[in-house]
Amino acid sequence: MLRFIPLKAQAGIAGFESPAAEYMQLSLTLDQILIDHPSATYLGVVEGESMTGVGIFPHDILVVSRAEKVISGDVIVATLNGNFVCKIADTKNMRLLSSAKGFKTYQLNDGDEFLVEGVVTRSIRMHRPFKRGLV
């Protein structure tokens, strides 16, 4: 399951100055590093543990792009019968796969309401949950 958060995908890099700072100046933002197609990208917060096998854990942030074409093996965000899901796409066999043990494969059927919302291009591991009440 995936819950969306109302954040702009924008942040700067700040912190302690590196000893190498005199040799190189980085003028990159997190947007430039994490987002390939800004107008087709959104963020989501993970709920559930079905994708821990690929390193996606509860409270992590997913960077999801609608500009990417889905290929088999991609981690995707989709709506399935009215629910948001984050799964691995098996396009050849029309299945949705979880990466954690104990979660079943879902075989897509003709009667399913299914829409790919985007491809997960990055995930941000949240070692501490948000303190601002967003999730």
CATH number at residue 113: 2.10.109.10
Coil, strand or helix at 117: strand
Helix (H, G, I), strand (E, B) or coil at 53: helix
**pLDDT on residue 117:** 96
What count of residues does the chain have?
135
For residue 125, the surrounding DSSP H or E stretch is: none
| pLDDT at residue number 44 | 93
pLDDT at position 123 is 96
Return the higher-pLDDT residue of 49 and 20: 49
Domain count, the chain: 1
Whether residue 5 contacts residue 43, with contact meaning beta carbons closer than 8 Å, is answered with: yes
pTM reported for the whole predicted model: 0.77
**Is 131 domain-assigned?**
no
Output the pLDDT for position 70.
98
74-129 residue pLDDT tens: 999 999 999 999 999 999 999 999 999 999 999 999 999 999 999 999 999 998 87
Instruction: Give the per-residue pLDDT at 130.
Output: 74
Domain range for 84: 2-124
Predicted confidence band at 9 (pLDDT cuts at 50, 70, 90)? very low
- 87 occurs within a structural domain: yes
C-alpha 121/C-alpha 68 separation (Å) is: 9
* Class of residue 58 by CB neighbours under 10 A (exposed 0-12, middle 13-18, buried 19+): middle
Distance CA 124, CA 57 (A): 10
